[in-house]
């Protein structure tokens, strides 16, 4: 069993993917209100509900989620944060 370190200040850990293939990513908290990221979070709410316990889980493939975060961070700050 792998022990996860706490997320650095300003970042939110998100478990992306389904079951065995899920990957833990750290996302800047300021990106969570970007419309594209909100769309992915809404997808998570539809699949898992709003009462998730533990790390937030998003049910999409890692590559798609990373593209969303990269696009959101470029529009928000002019540079990439993931």
Please write the tens of the pLDDT for every residue from 36-79: 999 999 999 999 888 888 888 999 999 999 999 999 988 654 44
What is the number of domains present in the chain? 1
Which of these, 36, 26, 41, 40, lies nearest to 76 by C-alpha position?
36
Establish if 15 belongs to a structural domain.
yes
Residue 30 pLDDT greater than 80, yes or no = yes
Phi, psi of 26 (to 5 degrees): -105, 125
**DSSP assignment, residue 28?**
E
Is the CB of residue 42 less than 8 Å from the CB of residue 77? no
Residue 82 pLDDT greater than 50, yes or no = no
Q: Tell me the C-alpha distance between 24 and 37, whole Å.
A: 16
pLDDT at 81: 45
Establish if 81 belongs to a structural domain.
no
In terms of residue numbers, what domain contains 53? 11-74
**pLDDT tier at 3, thresholds 50, 70, 90:** low
Establish if 2 belongs to a structural domain.
no
* pTM of model > 0.85: no
Q: Tell me the C-alpha distance between 79 and 2, whole Å.
A: 31
Cα 9 to Cα 42, 47, 53: the distances in Å are 24, 28, 20
């Amino acid at each position: 069993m792998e022990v996860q370190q706490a997320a650095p200040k300003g970042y939110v850990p998100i478990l992306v993917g389904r079951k065995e293939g899920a990957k833990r990513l750290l996302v800047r908290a300021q990106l969570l209100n970007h419309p594209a990221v909100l769309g992915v979070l809404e997808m998570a709410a539809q699949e898992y509900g709003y009462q998730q316990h533990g790390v937030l889980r998003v049910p999409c493939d890692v590559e798609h989620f990373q593209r969303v975060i990269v696009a959101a961070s470029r529009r928000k700050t002019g540079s990439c944060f993931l």
